[in-house]
Structure formats: C-alpha cells, structure tokens
Amino acid sequence: MLKKTITMTALAVLAATATSSFAEKYTASEKARKLAHENLLVDTHIDVPYRIHNEWEDVTVATKGGDFDYPRAVEGGLNAPFMSIYIPAHYEQSGGSIQLANELIDGMEALVGRAPDKFAMAYTTDQVIKNTEKGLMSLALGMENGTPIEGDLANLEHFYERGIRYITLAHSQSNHISDSSYDIRRQWDGLSPFGKKLVKAMNDMGVMVDVSHISDDAFYQVIEISEAPVIASHSSLRQYTPGFERNMSDDMLKKLGENGGVIQINFGSSFVAQQANRYRDMLKKRIEAVEEQYGEESAEAQQRIAEIEKNNPYPYATLDQVLDHIDHVKELIGVEHIGIGSDYDGVGDSLPVGLKDVSSYPNLVQGLLDRGYTDDEIKMILGGNLMRVWQQVEDLAK
C-alpha cells in the first residue's frame, strides 16, 4: 500500500471509540476461533520489518504499539505472516535500496535468532507446514517494491537466496521495472523491457509475481507473460472504491481468475470503503481553503482546522465491508482466488472496526460463517489458496 502515517487528530480520537462501540458485534464464536487456530492461516502482507527498523520494538513479546506481536498473532491463529521487505519509492533515485533490503531481511533473521521457540524462517511451502507442525510461526518474506533488483537478474538470485518469495514490482512511483498505479507518469506504458524479462526470470526461479501497486497496463502485461499464477499480495476491489486504480477492477479479477492467481484482501479502510478512500482529499481541500483565507500559521486558521477535524471524524470501514469484498470475488471468479493480505503495520491507524490487529482473524472467520461460507471455503481463504499458488510457482521453477 501507499505508506502514510495517519497523524490527523480526527483519526486518533475516533480509534478507541470505534473499537469499543463495536466490540460486542465482532465477538468470535468458539467455532470461529477453532477454525482460525486449527487451520493454516497465511497473511501475505505485514509490515513489521520496516516498522521495527524505524523504531525498534521486541515483537517476540507483547508491544504497546503496532498491529503485530507474537502474543496477539498466536491469539489470532496466525501461522505464516509474509513479512514485507518494504523499500520506499525514493530509493529508486537515491540509491541504497540493496542495503536497506538486506538490513530488513537481517532483522527478520535476528527475530528468529532471539526467539527460536516461537519463530522460524520459511522459504518453501513444505517448511511452512513443518514449522506449523512444530508449533513455530513461519516468517516468509516478500519484497514490496522491486527497486533493489537494480536492473540486474543477479540481484534477483541474491534475494531469492536470502528468502524473498514474492516481489511487488513497483510501489508508489514508477521504477525501472514497472509503472505504478499511484504515478500519473506512465514512462513504460506498463512494464519496462527489463520488467518483462524479470517476470519470466521470477517464474524460472520460483518467486511469485505480485501485481499489487502496479498500473493496469502493467497488470495485463504480467498476466500475458507469466506462466505461473500471480498474486495481488494486498489489494481490494475497485467495485467499492471507484476510480482508485490501486485496487483491482472486475475485468482484472477475471484475468486473475483465468491465470489461477489469488487476490489477498487488504484491510485498510481506504482500500475497503469509498468514504474512507476519499476522506484525505476532502479534508485536505477544506484545510487548504481555511489556510488560504486566514493564513497558514494564524491562530484563527488553527482553530478552524481543529473544528473541521473534530466535526469530520475518519470514517472507518467495518468488518462487514471487508466481507463485501470477499463476497464479490467469490461471486465473480470463485472462492479459490481469495486470501488475506491485511497490510497490518502498513496502513497506520486506519484499520476497520473489528479487524484492528493480528488477534482479529477469528472475527473475520465469524463473519464468513455468518455469511454462509463452509468450513472448507474458509480454510481456502485463510491459507489454502495462497499455498496452492506458492506450490505451483515452486513446481514450475523445478
């Protein structure tokens, strides 16, 4: 996702109120908890590496901040988080992306070293299964933004050896691989010539191609080139956020289904609900108008801005709206193409009511049960579908 720390007063004030107001509604049953705890649960996008690189916390124990720590993950039933090796887009110009990527990977290996009774690295589907059988939480790795490849397939091999098992080709700006959904400059009209080679090389090596963040043209080119199923590691649906290219359209979903891939639903409110998606732009315009009228630093402007924020609290999405996205994918292309890519620790304080951290997965399961999903369908969504794709990518590389 587009990494932005949400600092507006309106968000901070509303968060606790929203959580407490809806706590009773989103209470998981014993069956829901059992399904979450007794079946493989994979989340393909959690931003712990960058979070603790910037401000270190020991996530092997309970933490005051963030959306992930070991006790909460156990409570939620999480078995295999893909830890995001997130590289901010500006590294494409500034350089240093390879070093940052290696440092973030080092941080995850150090996490395992500090708590080998809790965590283990996982580089294959078999390792995920074996770690789970041993009672260990698997840390798998995905690279968010392919900038560290730096136009050299030798770097792809290096990061494969270090454990990277998917690569999000671009992030918030276009790079040497692909155009970005967020970037109005379409320098490649999709993938670059190197990007097309990279997709094939990822197929050959056994690295999943992640189509989150890239432009529509780049997505269709990936689908045409890739012999393996692809993933959207943390995306939701444009059906509910019209005009938001970062999410996937119905036509893209159909192509993803034909490819055999999976969309891992992003929980961030701005990905899920139109009102939340447009909130920032609405608030920004109103604040800019006040600053222009009264002066940016004036006391009058500050008072009016505070009133605007107070009277326009952030419109958090709800668990029910996240479930709407899942329902739509199921109806359009089938339940076998749905998974979880929460974006925990990556969307700031904008998570939906009922899905505030990694302890909340049983709430999602309860919602699926309430909407008539079978146990087998829920197992597929929790991790079965992603494991199928990962296995197919491994098999093709072999």
Domain boundaries, the chain: 27-273+320-397
pLDDT digits (tens, 9 = 90+) for 333-370: 999 999 999 999 999 999 999 999 999 999 999 999 99
Structure tokens belonging to residue 273: 């609900």
Q: CA-CA distance, 29 to 364, in Å (whole number)?
A: 11
Taking the alpha carbons at both ends of the chain, their separation in whole angstroms is 31
| Nearest residue to 389 (alpha-carbon basis) of 231, 237, 238 | 231
* 8 Å CB contact between 178 and 210: no
Q: How confident is the model at residue 25 (pLDDT cuts 50, 70, 90)?
A: low
Residue written as tokens 């397939």?
A: 153
Q: Strand, helix or coil at 46? A: strand
Least confident stretch, 1-5, 195-199, 288-292: 1-5
Structure tokens belonging to residue 394: 């491994």
* Angle formed at CA 15 by CA 11 and CA 16, multiple of 5 degrees: 145
Residue 16: what pLDDT?
43
Which residues have CB under 8 Å from 350's CB, separation 6+? 6, 11, 268, 269, 270, 276, 314, 316
Which sign does the torsion angle of CA 312, 313, 318, 322 carry? Answer: positive
CATH 3.20.20.140 fits 27-273+320-397, yes or no: yes
Q: CA-CA distance, 324 to 216, in Å (whole number)?
A: 23
| Nearest residue to 237 (alpha-carbon basis) of 133, 145, 363, 333 | 333
Q: Tell me the range of 16-20, 34-38, 305-309 where mean pLDDT is highest.
A: 34-38
Residue ranges in the chain assigned as alpha helix (H): 9-21, 30-38, 48-54, 70-76, 91-94, 97-114, 125-133, 153-161, 193-205, 216-225, 250-259, 269-272, 274-294, 299-311, 319-333, 361-370, 375-379, 385-397
Q: CA-CA distance, 165 to 206, in Å (whole number)?
A: 7
Residue 292: what pLDDT?
86
